[in-house]
Every structure is written in C-alpha cells, then in structure tokens.
Structure 1
Amino acid sequence: MDETGVLQRRRDTAWRGAGVAVAAVGWGAQQFAPLLLVYRAELGVGAATVQAVFAVYVVGLVPGLLFGGPVSDRWGRRPVALAALAASGAASALLLAGGHGVGWLFAGRLVAGFASGAGFSAGAAWVRELSAGSVGGTERGPRRATVAMTAGFGLGPLAAGVLAQWAPAPTVLPYLPHLALTLAALPLVLRTPETSAGGTGGLRIAGVTSRRFRTVVVPLAPWVFGVVAVGIAYLPGLVAHRLGGFVLLFCTFVTLIAAAAGISVVPLARRVARGGTGQLLAVAMGLAIAGLLVAAAAAATTDPLLVVASVVVLGAAYGCCQVCGLAEVQRMARPGQLAGLTAAYQAISYIGFAAALPLAAVDHAVAPPVLLLGLAALAALTLAGTSRAVRTSTVPEPTLDSK
C-alpha cells in the first residue's frame, strides 16, 4: 500500500477510539435496564420507585449534555471524553452497592446520566468530525455515532442480564464488565486525534433559537428515547406474570433486540435521508406510531410475543429518529458549534427516557392500552407538525461542511 493509501486508511479508522468511548458510556447507561425487576425483588420496592431510579438518569444527563458539548467545543473533545469515561466508571462503582439500598441506585444512575451527557455530546461530535476525512464521511458520521451509541446500549444490558440470570451476586457482577471496558477505552481515547481547535467564546449554545431547530428538532427529539423507554422499561412489566422464572432473561432480550433493530435500520435510514429530512422524518415517526399501536395490543392481551414485535418496531423507530436528528444538527451547526448544538438536541431527546415513569404511575387508574393509544395519537400529531415545519423552514447556513 502506498503512502497515500496508508494515510487514507488512517483517516478511515481514526474515529474508532472515539467510537469505543461512546459505546463504553452507552454500555454504562443501559446496563441497568434488565435489572429493574431484580431490584424490585431484592429491595422490596414498588414499580414506580424502580422507574424513578431509571428516570433519574435524565436529571444527571441534561446538565451533562449542556456542560459537555460547549466545553468540548471550547477546550477539546478528548478532555471531556476522558472525564466522561471516568464518571461512567464511578457510576458503576456506586451501582455495585445498590443491593444494599435504593439510595445507592439513585446516586449511581444520577452520575451515569451526567457521564452519558458529557460523553455523548462530545463523543458524537468527535466521531462525526473524525469521519469527515474518510470516504463518504459526511454521510457516515451520523451513522457511525448512532451505531457506536446503540452498540453500547445493546451489549451493556446483554452482559448485565446474562450475569444477573445465571451468575452469583446478581446486583454486583453485572457491573464488572463495564468497569473493565471503561479502563480499556482510556488508552484508545488518549491516542485518538483531537479535532477541536478550541474557541474563545463563552459556553452559550448557538443555533437553538433558529426556527428549524425549534419546529423540527425539538418536537422530534423526545421520541428518540421515548420509544425505547416504552419498549424496554414499561412493556416487560405488563407481561411479567406470564414469564415465570424467565422474566430477567426476557428483559435482557427485549433490550438487546431494541438495540439490534436500531442499528440494523441505520443503513436504510441513511438511504431514505438522501431524499430529504421530510422523508426520513415520515418513516421514523410512522414506525413510532406503528410500534405504539402494537404495544397497545400487547398490553391488552399481555402477550410476550407481541411485546417482542412492538420492541422491534420501536427499536427501528429509535434508529431512524436518531439518524434524522443527528443529521439535522450536523447540517445546522456552524463551525465550532457542533458539540454544543448536539448537546442541546440530545438533552431534549433524553427527556424521553422518563416516558415509562408517568405510564407506570397512572396505569392503575388508566388502562395501559389506553395510555399507549394516547401516545400513538401524540406521535401522529408530532408527525403532522414536524412535516409541515420541514416544508416551511430552511436549514441555517453555513453548514458543518463549510469548515
């Protein structure tokens, strides 16, 4: 291979260190999901308490996003990614003590949220910037960031769920693989090229007041993880009584297939996106509506197979929504603003992680199928509003590619 080929290969693979960091943080974010029912049994707490522990992640995540994005735009991607990895490992250390009291779980999930916010905002921007020098990098950047994040989301729960099901100490051993992965990611991040030259401005996030961001990105964003939360945190509890001793394995399985569906649909989302944001938006929200309708049927029949079918569709909706949102942000961001605008988008998107909490809190008063049909109707309204906004608004210039 000649020198030009060697340089091109380096550019094509430069993103992998940042991708591993994003995956490691994603692993730490979602490893808790299949253990929800374990803690209900171990600690004797109710469904609403466990859902609150799951949702408190968002309380830490939003400030992490709003801190990590602008800070990495100003002082560099690598320092923020390293800090996020360290915080993610600390969160797992706190969760190790969770079997002794729910307070440890709240603390661990709060720290995990902050780590994820900082890591995803800086890491996703880093992956996209490192991809810019590779062949087709402009298109591959959002896809690679989505795949790295989703791989962590899938593998973390898989490892944690398998260990909790068949290994001893189900509230301790599931967190050890993440601690090992975090340590392994640190040297990779240290060797990854820095892409942010830094800036002299403040930490204000520019671009969030644009009409396009307010009318397209903001309504879309909560559905990215809202559909995931419904599939992996709410639906399994509705069919738990039909699963016998395989409840934990089922929770692990649905979390894995949600992530697998999200990754598998990314190439299709990328092709659809070439026809414009409107087309991908229609596909993404159409899948969300379809998945919620199947979820309503699953809730009405308490059929585990329908839960699986719903999670597959909702996972695909997540993948399409994520690619659509990241691509919109990439087109909008001016030079030096990518991580900050990504952080703002992700801060709104992760609000959706709390979707299971209000559902669990009121499903004793309102039937779960009715709640899920209501969500499907809300998704349809979102599709109508954002589709109209896409037709009547423009992407701010200059785009990221003008750097």
Structure 2
Amino acid sequence: MATLTQLGAPARSTGTHPAAWLGVAAAIYAIAWGGNEFTPLLVMYKRDGLPVTTVDLLLFEYVLGIVPALLIGGPLSDRFGRRPLMLPAPLIAATGSTLLAFGASSVPMLSAGRVLCGVALGLAMAVGSSWLKELSQPPFTGDTASGTGARRSAMSLTGGFGIGAGVAGVLAQWAPWPDTLAYLINVTLCLLAALWLYRAPETVARQQHPGRLLDDLKVPAAAHRRFRTVALPLSLWLFTSSAAAYAIMPTLMMPKVHGAPIAFSALVTVITLGCGFAIQSVARRLDRPGTIRLPVLALTLVITGMLLAVAASATLTLWLTVLTAIALGMGFGIGLVAGLLEIERMARPDDLAGLTAVFYAVSYLGFGVPAVMAVCHDGTGVGYPAMFAVLAAACVLCLAVITRGRRG
C-alpha cells in the first residue's frame, strides 16, 4: 500500500499548508487530557468512599478500551486511511468525559466512561501518532529533522496528560462541582479539536482491493529483533513508572496531606508528566541512531525512581515522593521518545501504525500495576516498600535484556 507521500502528491494538490499537522496534534492533546484527568481524582473517589481496589481498577479499565483500539485501529488506518479512524476519536472522548461527569456515584457509568476514553486514546496513539508523523514530512510540510513526527506526538500526548491532570486536580480541590467541572471542560476541548481535526488532509491512499482483514492485523515488524530486545522491554516501564508515581504514591501520602489531598495528587501528577514533557526535547538531542543510549538512560531513571519509592513509601516522606515523581517522570519521557524513535526507524510505511499500536498496547499494561499492588497488599499484607523493590529488580532485568540486544 502506498501513502500519498510515497506517490509524490504535491502539497498544493491536498490543499494543505505547513501547519497541517497542528489539527492532529490538538486532537491528540485533547484526548490525552481526557484520558488522564481521572488520575488526580483517584484520591477524591477513595476519600468519598469507593474502595481502593475498585478505584485502581477504574484506572486500569480504560486500558480495556486502549488496547483493542490500538491493535485494530492502527492496521485499519493503514487499510482505509487515517481520517476515517481518527475523526471520531475526539467525539468518543467527549462522550466518555460526559459519562464521567455525571457518573460520580455510579461505578458502571464511571467504568463505561473510562473505557470510552480509552478507545479514543488508543485511536489517538496508534492512528493519530502515525498521521502526525506523516504530516510532519514532505509533501505536507517543508523538510524537517528526522524524528520530528515522533517528538511532536510524544509532546502532544505528555502535554495533554500533564495539563489535564493538573487542571482537574485544582478544580476538584477548590472549584464548584468537583465531580463534574473538569470533565465538562474536556468535553468542550474535544469538540473544538474535532472541528480543527476535520481540516487535516489524508496521508494514506485507501486500498482499492484490500485482502483479508486478518492479514492486515498482522504486524511483521513486531518480530524485528531490535523491537523484541529493545523497544518491547522499554515499553513495559513507560506507564508502570508513571502509574507508580501518581496513582500509588499520593494515596499512600493521604494521611500527610489531609488538608488538600486532591491538590497534592494533582501536583505529583503534574511533576511526573511535566518532567516527562520537559526532558523529551533533551532526549531528542541525546539520541544516537543505532545505539541504546536513550533506552538505558530511561530505565536507569526508572530504577532510581523505584528505589526512591521504596524509601518514600516506607517513611511517608513528602519530599521523597516528589523526588520519586521527578525520576519516574524523566524515565517515562525519555523512554517514550526512545521507543517511538526506534519504531520510526524500523517500521515500513505500511506497518508504522500497527507497530506503534503494539508498542503502546504493551506499555499501557503498566496501568494495571496499581490494582495488582492493591490486591497484593489487601490480600497478603505485603508492604508497598517490598513491592517497589520487586519492581526495581524487574526493571534491572529488562535493562540487562536491552543491553544484550543492542546489536539487533
């Protein structure tokens, strides 16, 4: 299958301009905002009486929407084009946020809202990221540096994650309608982004004689040795690290910040994702194709963060919690850029979206870690310091795999 770029279609024939990518970036940003605004409110739901395990499962439930949308949406967009798959995404996100806004007392409504936000985010990550990458290169824009599309995608996602969480936490702590207002703001943003997105041009030619859908869902590049030994071990820690920082630590610190627990949760979330966002431009400059410099740096920071989490959870120390968020946030940010750059280099144009989907699908399993840790703590009495130590050891093993696979 050939993309419009491959066919050499001139930019003027598409009616585009050099900033055509901005509409896609705005949609990714708004959808990411909606996907993560729930996170600082975990403390609010727990404070208001929902069991810890139930709330942590709600955090994970949007993975039930993300993973299918990632795995199916990416290959389908290679088959039918980016626009048909991505245009509904901000509307799906708006629907999910609406359910969350009016479902604070209903676990089924919260669950449905989380799954819909996950579906939208999965489409944004698999289809939107690929679309943004293609719009960041000729003929849709002027010549850009290698990796520009990956950087724009990573920054749109991380910026939406961080700002959405910060605004939601502040509003839930001090504004009226704490269960509702933040979600309604996201509904507005998603609807505006949907209008902007509609103007973005198609970059992939629809297949005239498509084969079996099952064949389209296969991603041969996933068998690439460097994907298996570098990108995949790295992906396991992206959202494991961020979830540990802003889904687990603020809950443990609630007795220390009883005056403003939601605001503190938002602060930790913003610190985590703010560090992840800020470090991404630095990571791009540190990157050297063919090396494992960025993956090693990312996992080293994750290991450091997990060890800090051991100390913070054992002593319930606020400044250690902040240091944990900084280290894990930087590990997340560098790891995200490193993984997307690896994929951009190894994928062919016809399986870029599919390989991106596999990478993100594995990474989002990390949001199940808080629920698993809550079950282990409640069911077996294992302490959080011990569980963070196990996570640090597991990350060391993944670092060893990456180091051995550097010549792939």
Question: What's the TM-score once normalised by structure 1's chain length?
Answer: 0.92
State how far apart, in whole Å, the 2-side matches of 1:157 and 1:281 are: 26
Indicate the larger mover: 347-356 or 363-372.
363-372
After superposition, residues 102-251 of structure 1 pair within 5 angstroms as 102-133=107-138, 134-199=142-207, 200-201=210-211, 202=213, 203-206=216-219, 207-251=221-265
Contact 2:311-2:385 within 8 A present in 1 as well? yes
Q: Which amino acid aligns with 1:187?
A: L
From 58, 77, 83, the equivalent of 1:53 is 58
Q: Is the 8 A contact 2:239 2:363 kept in 1?
A: yes
Work out the CA distance in 2 between the residues paired with 1:382 and 1:373.
Answer: 15
1:205 and 1:344 in contact (8 A); partners too: no
Structure 2 residue ranges without an equivalent (≥5): 1-11
Could you say which residue in structure 2 is the equivalent of 1:3?
none
- The question of 1:31 aligning with 2:37 is answered yes
My pick for the range that moved more, 116-125 or 12-21, is 12-21
Query: Counterpart of 1:13?
Result: 19
The answer (yes or no) to whether the contact 2:71–2:217 under 8 Å persists in 1 is no
**Residue 291 of structure 1, CA deviation:** 0.9
On the 8 A contact 1:162/1:249 being kept in 2, the answer is: yes
What is the one-letter code of the residue matched to 1:377? A
The Cα shift of 1:93 comes to 1.1
Question: Normalized per residue, which structure has more helix?
Answer: 1
Q: Distance in 2 between matches of 1:125 and 1:277?
A: 23
Deviates more, 1:51-60 or 1:203-212: 203-212
**Taking structure 1 as reference, are residues 257 and 12 closer, same or farther at Cα in structure 2, changes over 3 Å only?**
farther
Q: Which moved more, 1:357-366 or 1:337-346?
A: 357-366
Secondary structure class of the residue paired with 2:177: coil
Q: What is the CA–CA distance in structure 2 between the aligned matches of 1:197 and 1:131, rounded to whole Å?
A: 17
Tell me what 1:379 maps to.
395
Contact 2:71 2:358 in 1 (8 A): yes
Measure how far apart 1:101 and its partner are.
Answer: 1.4
Cα-Cα RMSD: 1.9
Between the aligned partners of 2:344 and 2:317, the Cα distance in structure 1 is 41
Asked if 1:72 is matched to 2:80, the reply is: no
1:316 aligned to 2:330?
yes
Note the C-alpha offset of 1:275: 5.4
Higher alpha-carbon deviation: 216-225 or 142-151: 216-225
1:366 alignment counterpart: 382
2:105 pairs with one of 93, 100, 107: 100
TM-score by length of 2: 0.91
CA distance in 2, matches of 1:243, 1:367: 21
Q: Which amino acid aligns with 1:96?
A: A
* Equivalent AA in structure 1 for residue 105 of structure 2: H
In 2, Cα distance between equivalents of 1:360 and 1:260: 26
Compared CA separation, residues 352 and 277, structure 1 to 2 (3 A): farther
Give the % identical residues. Answer: 40
Please list every run of 5 or more consecutive structure 1 residues that lacks an aligned counterpart in the other structure: 1-5, 394-403
Question: Which range moves more in the overlay, 213-222 or 62-71?
Answer: 213-222
Output the amino acid matched with 1:123.
G
Q: Does the aligned pair in 2 maintain the 1:128–1:138 contact within 8 Å?
A: no
Shift of 1:80: 1.5
Quote how far apart the aligned CAs of 1:132 are: 1.9
- Range with bigger deviation, 323-332 or 205-214: 205-214
- Paired amino acid for 1:259: L
**CA 1:12/1:248 → structure 2, altered by over 3 Å: closer, same or farther?**
same
Classify the secondary structure of the residue corresponding to 2:285: helix
- Structure 1: which amino acid aligns with 2:25? G
Deviations 1:291-335 (A, max 9, x none): 111111111110111111110111110011101111111111112
Partner of 2:8: none
Task: Give the paired residue count.
Answer: 386
Residue 257 (structure 1) shift: 1.3
Q: Which amino acid aligns with 1:204?
A: L
